[in-house]
Homo-oligomer: A and B are copies of this chain.
């Protein structure tokens, strides 16, 4: 099964319990609204690609890990879009969750998605308890404080920002989780996979800065020009558009070079190249378009 289908089928399965009797109907509607329709699903795809490259001997565990990671990512989008943070009205081409359901349900849907991520891992543990626990610890480390995406977002509430720590936590953390969890799900050592995740995350951050600076909301399905509006540090601001574009290519080259030697090495390199093309094609066109 293609990674996309595997991820979406499993996400539907994870959310199916929300239809149970006794669930508050609006929360039960808000949670799937945060998860579908699919975004790029880039983090769980990387996770499954690494698991596959590592042999994927427990596909049900890798699938659960991919679902857990995507649920946490969706939770972070819902909370980051809140008026107290980005106050984003658009997400994946439709009204952000708090615009559609109100702020209380946006807070609670985000909370529920975080919990559900860990619940999915616990349920997958029946056949491989040690892997499920290692996956839980890895996902928690990259989600919470002091070094996960919560910490990353919290840097925006600081007067003095540690820029390296900010980017590492805000964006790279879930990419490192993706590569590490892929390895853990397949019973392999996670450590050699840190670099690949960190570099993809770094490239993704630069690509995001470029898209935010160069594209329109119609092209991205979310508000643009947010870095400048919120005075957030960005690669475009520090290196200019051409500099940022070159920087991203260099990082992706480093990412490919960092892939640990394994049977799926070529497949993974192709995946990174495909993402690189996807990440650059729109900003590239926009930067050449004087309109």
Q: Is there a chain B Cβ closer than 8 Å to A213's Cβ?
A: no
Report A126-152 residues with CB < 8 Å from chain B CB. Answer: 126, 129-130, 132-134, 136-137, 140-141, 143-148, 150-151
Q: Is there a chain B Cβ closer than 8 Å to A28's Cβ?
A: yes
Q: Are B144 and A119 in contact (CB under 8 A)?
A: yes
Q: Which residues of B contact A25 (CB under 8 A)?
A: 158
Q: How far is the CA of A114 from the CA of B76 in the complex (A)?
A: 13
Q: Is there a chain B Cβ closer than 8 Å to A276's Cβ?
A: no
By Cβ-Cβ distance, the 5 closest A-B pairs, closest first, are: A23-B146, A115-B144, A119-B140, A27-B154, A129-B129
Given contacts A111-B79, A118-B140, contact A18 B146 (CB under 8 A): yes
* Stretch of A44-52, A102-110, A199-207, A262-270 contacting B (4+ beta carbons < 8 Å): A102-110
Q: Is there a chain B Cβ closer than 8 Å to A290's Cβ?
A: no
Chain A residues with a Cβ under 8 A of chain B: 17-20, 22-28, 31, 75, 79, 82, 84-85, 101-105, 107-108, 110-112, 114-116, 118-119, 121-123, 125-126, 129-130, 132-134, 136-137, 140-141, 143-148, 150-151, 153-158, 162, 165, 168-169
Instruction: Give chain B nearest CB distance to A85 CB in angstroms.
Output: 6
Contact of A162 among B22, B123, B168 (CB under 8 A): B22
Q: How far is the CA of A157 from the CA of B28 in the complex (A)?
A: 12
Q: Which residues of B contact A123 (CB under 8 A)?
A: 137
Additional A-B contact list (18), CB under 8 Å, known A24-B157, A26-B157, A85-B104: A22-B168, A23-B146, A24-B162, A24-B165, A26-B154, A27-B151, A27-B154, A31-B145, A85-B107, A104-B156, A108-B145, A108-B154, A115-B144, A115-B145, A115-B148, A119-B136, A122-B133, A122-B140
The A interface, classified by DSSP as helix, strand, loop or mixed, is helix
Residue of B nearest to A129 (CB): B129
Residue of B nearest to A22 (CB): B165
Q: Are B114 and A114 in contact (CB under 8 A)?
A: yes
Q: Which residues of B contact A119 (CB under 8 A)?
A: 136-137, 140-141, 144
Q: Are A154 and B79 in contact (CB under 8 A)?
A: no
Identify which of A79, A125, A141 gathers the most chain B CB atoms within 10 Å of its CB. A125
